[in-house]
């Protein structure tokens, strides 16, 4: 999952028109001035890339910092990877 951070970074830079130098793990999304339509595109692209659903109203899934997004995506990927074997 080491490449998750880099792929999510690429998506945010492209869709949110964010300077890659500003996109550190502690960077707050609101401070990056990502427009709401761009955030929707970012979420959509991440969901498509990893075949996951990002809950935007779940208090356990924070979308405050870039690090939050990366960790949340990693968690959703791990849960998805475990789910099929649990159903067997």
For residue 55, pLDDT over 90 is answered with no
What pLDDT score does 84 carry? 58
- Domain layout of the chain by residue ranges: 2-83
Q: What pTM did the predictor assign?
A: 0.85
* Mean pLDDT of all residues belonging to the chain: 88
Query: Distance (Å, rounded) from C-alpha 61 to C-alpha 73?
Result: 9
**Quick one: 12 exposed, middle or buried, by C-beta within 10 A (0-12, 13-18, 19+)?**
buried
| Count of CB atoms situated within 10 Å of the CB of 72 | 20
What pLDDT score does 4 carry? 96
Q: What is the pLDDT of residues 11-20, one digit of tens each?
A: 999 999 999 9
Fold of 2-83: 1.10.1200
């Amino acid at each position: 999952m080491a490449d998750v951070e880099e792929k999510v970074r690429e998506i945010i830079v492209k869709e949110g028109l964010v300077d890659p130098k500003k996109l550190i793990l502690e960077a707050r999304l609101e401070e990056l001035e990502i427009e709401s339509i761009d955030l929707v595109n970012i979420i959509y692209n991440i969901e498509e890339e990893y075949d996951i659903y990002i809950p935007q109203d779940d208090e356990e899934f924070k979308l405050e910092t870039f690090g939050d997004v990366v960790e949340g995506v990693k968690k959703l990927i791990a849960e998805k990877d475990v789910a099929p074997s649990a159903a067997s």
